Every structure is written in C-alpha cells, then in structure tokens.
Chain A
Amino acid sequence: MIKLKNINKSFVLGGETIKALDNVSFNVEKGEFVSIIGPSGSGKSTLMNILGLLDVADSGEYILDDIKIKDASDNKLSEIRNKKIGFVFQNFNLLTKMNAVENVQVPLMYRGEKHDKSIKTAYEYLAKVGLKGREKHLPSQLSGGQQQRVAIARALAGNPEIILADEPTGALDSKTSREVMELLQELNEEGQTIILITHDINVAKQAKRIVKIADGKLYEGEVI
C-alpha cells in the first residue's frame, strides 16, 4: 500500500548540507504494524513527514494507495492527508480550545461531512478508545493518556488507510504508555495499518515488524 523508492531528502543547516534521507526504499502492506526505530537525528522525523505528506522528497518515488505523491498539489496533499492518514503525535496536538468531540470532528469537518453525522462518528470513536463520558472535556481537563486517546480517536475517525504514530508514548508514563500501545495493537488486530516511529526499543518491539533508521539509511529487521 505504501511504496517508497530511492527517496532522498536533504536540508541546508548553517551552510552545511545534511542528508536526512539517503536513498530510502521501503514498502508497507495493508494491515501491517511497522515500527521505525532510530536515535534523534537519524532522519526518522523526516521520514515521518514524507510518509505523512507534510513534506515532499527531493527525489525518489512515493506511491500511497496507487497515488503518485510527487505530482500532487498542496491542496491535493491536504485532501490525501485528510482521507488516508491519521496522525498521532508525541505531544498529542489537540486543539486546546475545543473539547474532545470537537477535536475528533476536525478531520471530518474538512471532509465536508454534516455536523450531526460527524458528532455521531466522534462519539463512537471516543467510546472505542475508552473515553465514554468525557466527550465534553477540554484537553486541559484530561490526563496525558486520555489526551492521546482523543488524538487516536481523531486519527481513527476519518477511517484512514494508515495511522502514523510519531513517538505516541513519548510524553506518557510507563503505565499509560502500555495502555496506549495495547490500544494500537488492538486496532492493528482489527486490520488497521499502523506505522509507529520511536527511539524506544521496548515500544518498537511491540510491532510485528521493526525497521531501523540511522544516518538517513534504513535497515530492515536488524534489532540492536
């Protein structure tokens, strides 16, 4: 479903060119749970941005669900993100002035879904991630684990092809981390494709497949 072929991406930082991704090729099939592990500065964030269509590669080919990403316009990228990708960020990235339901509704709103219908969907997914009864809470009234659950519900609500989770447990304590990881595993068992990016080997191990990234290069299946 995801095909990366010879992806290159470099940045100019203080006059020096840094190769963040060096000829990366990578495939993900439907229903997989892949974790990409690497230390900071390894290029995993860049890979995540490119996979999530927040950034475009300098060269190489990225095919997501039969769509060639290189040719897509800014608006087209927004549309694909909206329909095919669910983001789960390390710092949750919820809209602070909106309650749980409204946060989950955001991707549905940009899809042009009717308000009543999107509320219904939002309630459903909040219940699914175990937040029944907390629908009207603002992010500030929720614990870190609960906020991440809202973020997961938001990612799921759009019924995406893949969930991109960028250090989803990075800001959580070990108990809630475990709960969030269990939730992700459950979702994967239901058939949800998940790509998880982390620097924590214990988190990475919980995926079915592990890919290591270092200095912009991918190494399949080698666990440190």
Chain B
Amino acid sequence: MEKTKSIIKVSIKNIISNKLRSSLTMLGLIIGIISVILLVGIGSGATTNVTSEVKSLGTGTLTVTINSNADATLEYSQMDEILEINNVESVAPYKNVSGTVSRGTTTSKRASILATTPQYMSIMNLTISDGRLLSNIDLNNYSKICLIGSDLAESLFEGTKTKDIVGQSLKIEGDNYTIVGILTSAGSSMGNNIDTTLIIPFTTAKYLKGDTSISNLYVKVADEKYIDRTTTLIENYISSTLSISTDYFTVSSQDSMLDTMSNISNTLSLLLGGIAGISLIVGGIGVMNVMLVSVTERTKEIGIRKALGAKRMDILVQFLVESLMLCVLGGTIGVGLGLGIGKILQTFGFNFSATSGIVIISFASSALIGVVFGIFPAYKASKLNPIDALRTD
C-alpha cells in the first residue's frame, strides 16, 4: 500500500513535469467529453421539450386524423354521434384554413387561421386576456367573429391596448370579422404558434373556401383508464358508421404519440452520443500514442527502476496510473467546460439538459479510456528487459 502510494506520487510528478505534453494529450479527451456532454445534453433537451409539449395536451386526449383523400367524410353535424360514444367527454374538431388577414392597409403575413369549437380551447388550455371565448352560439350562427393571438394583435393594431382591440374588426379574405377576444400569449406549441393564430368558429370556415368536413379532431375521454377501449369504439364508429377505410384515418392517444416522439428523440440522442463517442475514442488513441512515446523515452528510467527492485507490476501501475490520471483530469475539465458551454447555449435558447447520468457516464468513460488505452503502453513498459533498458541513452 505504501509502495502504491509512492508510485502514484511518481506518476503525478511526471504528469506535472511534462505540462505541455500532458495538456495537449488531455485536450483530445477534453474535446471528446465536451462533445458528449453537449450533444447528449442537446439531444435530451429536445426530448424533454417534445415530451412536455405532448404532455401539456393531457393524457386523456385522443387525436383523430382523417386523410382529406378519404372515401367518406366526418361532418360537423356528426359530432353529436361521437359524443354519444361511451366515455367520450368532449370533442374538439379543428381545421387550418387559408386566408389573408388584413386591417386597413396592413396585411398580416404570419397569421394562421384556425377554425374550431369552444371545447378545443379548453382541451388546449387556451385562455383569453381580454374579451370573451368562443361560444356555441357563434357556431350555430356561423358568426363572423374571431379571437386573435397577442403577436397578431400587436402587428395589426400597433400600439393599441388589447382591451380596446376587442370590438374592432378585421378582414379575412376581404370579409369583415369582429374581434371578440384576445388570446393569452402562450408561445409556440407542437408547431403551432398560438400568438400568431386567429381563431374563428368551426362552422364559419364554410365562408373561407372550407367545407365543414373534419380532418382533425381532439377527443377528451372521461376516464383515462378506459382510453384504449374508447379508441377502439371511435375507430369502429369511423370505419363502420362513416365507412372510411382504416388506411385513411388514425386515432391515437397522447401516450402513443409520446412513445413515438420519445423514441425518435432517444434515437437522436443515441446517434449524437455515438458521434461524440467516436471523438472520445480518437482522444483515447491520442493518449495511447503519447504513453507509447513516453515509454520509449523513459526506457532508461524503467531500466534503472527495475535494477533497483521495481517489479513488473510496479512499472505497470506507474504508467497505468499516469494515463488514468491524464484521462480523469481531462474528463473532469471536459465535464466542467461541457456544462459551462451548455449553460451558455441555454441563454441562447437551446434546449440543453445534462442529467447527472451523462455526467457520471462521461467521468466513467474517461476513466475507462485511461485504462483501456493505457494498459498496452504500461504492459510494454513492464515487459522491458532491464539490461536492454539500461543500455539505452
């Protein structure tokens, strides 16, 4: 034990006395560890982001998608039939409509028009900052009213207070619509930016080159436990009552979406981690290279040590500890820098999340690299014949 302690001291001393070489050797590994931390961190950041968005819909929600080329259609009038399906609490059809939104001479280029029902707003957790929500009366009357997102409101009514915007009108495809409410800013979610969205009653879409057939529908179930059974019931309804062939529609729960999405982003993380892993291996080869040179350079030292009583194991340990130290030190610096750069990236809006798992894996893999790539040079050193070693200069 006393001997091992002394040998470790010798190793540390040697690393310190070769500062430039030691730091250059570590650099390769540091870069490798930084890339592992960053790439995996960004990968898992994306995963967390996607899953939290999907989760924000709530797990008790089913998404029904019907292909627009389907052989039959689901009409708005048939919503009641879906509501009668066991365990269905509410339904929210929605439809993206195209149209130009303008006010006076100002035309909004970014506005996306969403035709839907009051239920959609509650399923998506949309709230208003001013005015009122959609009501069933709007739907029944095909009212030309709308709710607008905060960014859209700002671009059309520059400088006007939101409560003063309520009651004003704007033009969609040249037709006048009264603004009844302003949506609370919620940012972008699932590819839709609610702040640039304009919501109109689902039925009103018929004025805007739209029909009232439904291709997208959220279904909220009363009891999540029976969500699979409800899924089957809805599928049966669509395929048998509406006679839409199964190729043309899907009914999926948030859980299955969550699975798919996390599958995708896990694959992404793995891929990124794999690429970073390659750079780690390259770093490891660098360590091995330097250690081999170091063994050749210190052949005489090894000879002297052996003559003075060093056993094979003592020499092996000395060189192995040296490469292990280099790698662990490089790993520590790499983890530190990686987390630091990650934090900086976060301030630039990247989704970076480094788990303690990846930090531990980084440390462990740098130690592993130290051993794996250090063992061959160390073994080579330990096998040197003392006479030959003493003879070299």
Chain B residues with Cβ below 8 Å from A55 are 387
Query: What residue of chain B has the Cβ atom nearest to residue A114's Cβ?
Result: B2
The answer to whether B301 touches A109, judged by C-beta atoms less than 8 angstroms apart, is no
Chain B residues with Cβ below 8 Å from A33 are none
The answer to whether B307 touches A54, judged by C-beta atoms less than 8 angstroms apart, is yes
The number of chain B residues with a CB under 8 A from chain A is: 26
Chain A residues with Cβ below 8 Å from B303 are 93
Complex interface: stretch among B51-59, B143-151, B310-318, B319-327? B310-318
A55 to B14, CA, bound (A): 29
Chain A residues with Cβ below 8 Å from B13 are 97
A75 to B316, CA, bound (A): 13
A112 to B17, CA, bound (A): 24
Chain A residues with Cβ below 8 Å from B128 are none
Q: Is A113 an interface residue (CB 8 A)?
A: yes
The answer to whether B305 touches A106, judged by C-beta atoms less than 8 angstroms apart, is yes
Q: Which of A79, A89, A95, A115 contacts B6 (CB 8 A)?
A: A115
Which residues of chain A from 25 to 82 have any CB-CB distance to chain B below 8 Å in the complex? 49, 52, 54-55, 74-75, 78-79, 81-82
Query: What residue of chain B has the Cβ atom nearest to residue A111's Cβ?
Result: B309
A62 to B305, CA, bound (A): 23
A56 to B173, CA, bound (A): 101
Smallest CB separation, A9 vs chain B (Å): 12
Interface centre among A81, A89, A109 (most CB of B within 10 A): A109
Q: Is B386 an interface residue (CB 8 A)?
A: yes
The answer to whether B306 touches A109, judged by C-beta atoms less than 8 angstroms apart, is no
The answer to whether A75 touches B308, judged by C-beta atoms less than 8 angstroms apart, is no
Which residues of chain A from 204 to 223 have any CB-CB distance to chain B below 8 Å in the complex? none
The answer to whether B390 touches A110, judged by C-beta atoms less than 8 angstroms apart, is no
Q: Which of B1, B7, B390 contacts A93 (CB 8 A)?
A: B390
The answer to whether A112 touches B2, judged by C-beta atoms less than 8 angstroms apart, is yes
Which residues of chain A from 100 to 153 have any CB-CB distance to chain B below 8 Å in the complex? 106-107, 109-115
The answer to whether B6 touches A49, judged by C-beta atoms less than 8 angstroms apart, is no
Interface centre among A54, A55, A89, A115 (most CB of B within 10 A): A54
Q: Is A83 an interface residue (CB 8 A)?
A: yes
Q: Is A199 an interface residue (CB 8 A)?
A: no
Smallest CB separation, A117 vs chain B (Å): 9
Query: What residue of chain A has the Cβ atom nearest to residue B382's Cβ?
Result: A74
Q: Is B3 an interface residue (CB 8 A)?
A: yes
Query: What residue of chain B has the Cβ atom nearest to residue A112's Cβ?
Result: B3
Which residues of chain A from 153 to 183 have any CB-CB distance to chain B below 8 Å in the complex? 154, 158
Chain B residues with Cβ below 8 Å from A82 are 308-309
Interface residue SS majority, chain B: helix
Q: Is B261 an interface residue (CB 8 A)?
A: no
Known: A54-B307, A95-B301, A106-B305. A75 touches B3 (CB 8 A): no
Q: Is B337 an interface residue (CB 8 A)?
A: no
The number of chain A residues with a CB under 8 A from chain B is: 28
Smallest CB separation, A65 vs chain B (Å): 15
The answer to whether B3 touches A107, judged by C-beta atoms less than 8 angstroms apart, is no
Known: A78-B311, A154-B308. A113 touches B390 (CB 8 A): no
Query: What residue of chain A has the Cβ atom nearest to residue B1's Cβ?
Result: A112
Query: What residue of chain B has the Cβ atom nearest to residue A86's Cβ?
Result: B308
The answer to whether A115 touches B2, judged by C-beta atoms less than 8 angstroms apart, is yes
Q: Is B304 an interface residue (CB 8 A)?
A: yes
The answer to whether B311 touches A107, judged by C-beta atoms less than 8 angstroms apart, is no
Chain A residues with Cβ below 8 Å from B301 are 95
A161 to B1, CA, bound (A): 26
Smallest CB separation, A82 vs chain B (Å): 2
Q: Which of A81, A89, A97 contacts B17 (CB 8 A)?
A: A97
A158 to B309, CA, bound (A): 10
Query: What residue of chain A has the Cβ atom nearest to residue B2's Cβ?
Result: A112
The answer to whether A87 touches B309, judged by C-beta atoms less than 8 angstroms apart, is no
The answer to whether A107 touches B308, judged by C-beta atoms less than 8 angstroms apart, is yes
Chain B residues with Cβ below 8 Å from A52 are 307
The answer to whether A95 touches B304, judged by C-beta atoms less than 8 angstroms apart, is yes
A89 to B303, CA, bound (A): 12
Known: A54-B387, A95-B301, A112-B3. A79 touches B308 (CB 8 A): no
A93 to B392, CA, bound (A): 11
A97 to B7, CA, bound (A): 15
Smallest CB separation, B387 vs chain A (Å): 5
A81 to B303, CA, bound (A): 13
A11 to B7, CA, bound (A): 35
The answer to whether B2 touches A113, judged by C-beta atoms less than 8 angstroms apart, is yes
A49 to B303, CA, bound (A): 13
Smallest CB separation, B9 vs chain A (Å): 8
A158 to B3, CA, bound (A): 15
Chain A residues with Cβ below 8 Å from B311 are 74-75, 78-79, 110
Interface pairs A-B: 6 shortest CB-CB: A82-B309, A110-B309, A112-B3, A109-B6, A78-B311, A107-B308
| 19 contacting pairs across A/B (C-beta < 8 A) | A54-B390, A78-B306, A78-B311, A78-B312, A81-B308, A87-B308, A93-B304, A93-B307, A95-B301, A95-B304, A97-B17, A106-B305, A107-B309, A109-B6, A110-B305, A111-B309, A112-B1, A115-B2, A158-B309
